[in-house]
Amino acid sequence: MAAAAPVKPINWLNVSTLVSVAILVGAELIGAGAAAGWAIGGLFGLGEFITHGLQALFVLCALAGLFYFLRAAMAHEKLRG
């Protein structure tokens, strides 16, 4: 039977940095997505329903971008020990 690797403690400074970055980047991306949908809908006079649909689409794209950004950040950040 193989011995288990020792568990290293969590580096809370790095965790708090990632949480802070997630909040900052998430707010920027979601705000930009909502503003872009509003601007495009208003510029082309697409109506309220389509404008809200564009906003929802761009916010979903922003959330996907945030997810992949955080995955890359976590891969480069040393969270344990």
- Give the per-residue SS3 of 37-62: HHHHHHHCCCCHHHHHHHHHHHHHHH
For the entire predicted model, the pTM comes to 0.81
In this prediction, residue 63 has a pLDDT band, given cuts at 50, 70 and 90, of very high
pLDDT in tens, 6-58: 788 888 898 899 999 999 999 999 999 999 999 999 999 999 999 999 999 99
Helix (H) or strand (E) holding 33: helix 12-43
Domain ranges for the chain, please list them. Answer: 12-76
- Tokens standing for residue 40: 């495009």
Q: Are the CB atoms for 12 and 49 separated by under 8 Å?
A: no
